[in-house]
Amino acid sequence: MASPQRIDERAPVFVISVAAELSGKHPQTLRQYDRIGLVSPQRTRGRGRRYSARDVAKLREIQRLSQDQGINLAGIKRILELQDEVGILADQLEAVRETLESMTPTQRRVFSADRDGEISALRRGERPQRRGGGALVLWRPQRRR
Alpha helices (H) in the chain, listed in sequence order: 16-23, 27-36, 53-67, 73-102
Which residues sit opposite 121 in a β-bridge?
Answer: 111
Q: How far are the Cα atoms of 14, 34, 35 from residue 18, in angstroms, in the given order?
A: 6, 16, 19
Instruction: Tell me the pLDDT tens digit for each residue of 77-128.
Output: 999 999 999 999 999 989 888 887 887 766 666 677 777 777 777 777 777 7
Instruction: Tell me the pLDDT tens digit for each residue of 51-82.
Output: 999 999 999 999 999 999 999 999 999 999 99
Instruction: For residue 10, name the pLDDT band (cuts at 50, 70, 90).
Output: confident
Q: Is the pLDDT of residue 143 over 60?
A: no
Instruction: For residue 39, name the pLDDT band (cuts at 50, 70, 90).
Output: very high
- Rounded mean pLDDT of 24-31? 95
Contacts of 66 (CB under 8 A, 6+ apart): 72, 73, 76
Residue 128 has a pLDDT of 72
The reported pTM is 0.64
pLDDT higher at 60 or 134: 60
- Region for 102 from its dihedrals, namely left if φ exceeds 0, alpha if ψ lies in -120 to 50, beta otherwise: alpha
CA distance 44 to 94: 35
Neighbours of 60 (CB within 10 A): 14
CA distance 67 to 12: 26
